[in-house]
């Protein structure tokens, strides 16, 4: 009989990305990323070392997806000319 304990939750893979990739995904400038993070409107960076920070890819992707989904709530722009 196998009595091994399996109380530990499964580990999830966390992928860290650096600022250039965060800028690419978000389309935001560096100052805007930091300003939004401080205000709680963008994922905060994770300190990896004394002089190294990164963001969790899943959190940045989730932020980007929420922005894409929110555009459905906006009124369409008048682009047709008569």
- For 49-58, write each residue's pLDDT tens digit: 999 999 999 9
Domain segments of the chain as ranges: 16-67
| Crossing angle of the two packed helices 30-38 and 19-26, in degrees rounded to 10 | 90
54 within 8 A of 46, measured Cβ to Cβ: yes
pTM above 0.85, yes or no: no
| Spatial separation of the C-alpha atoms in residues 59 and 42, rounded to whole Å | 9
In the predicted model, is pLDDT for residue 65 greater than 90? yes
Predicted confidence (pLDDT) per residue in 9-60, tens digit? 667 899 999 999 999 999 999 999 999 999 999 999 999 999 999 999 999 9
Beta-strand (E) ranges in 1-82? 16-17, 46-49, 52-56
């Amino acid at each position: 009989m196998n009595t091994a304990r399996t109380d530990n939750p499964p580990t999830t893979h966390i992928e860290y990305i650096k600022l250039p990739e965060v800028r690419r995904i978000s389309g935001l400038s560096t100052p805007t990323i930091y300003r939004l993070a401080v205000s709680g409107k963008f994922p905060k960076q994770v300190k990896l070392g004394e002089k190294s920070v990164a963001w969790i890819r899943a959190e940045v992707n989730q932020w980007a997806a929420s922005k894409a989904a929110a555009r459905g709530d906006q009124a369409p722009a008048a682009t047709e000319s008569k």
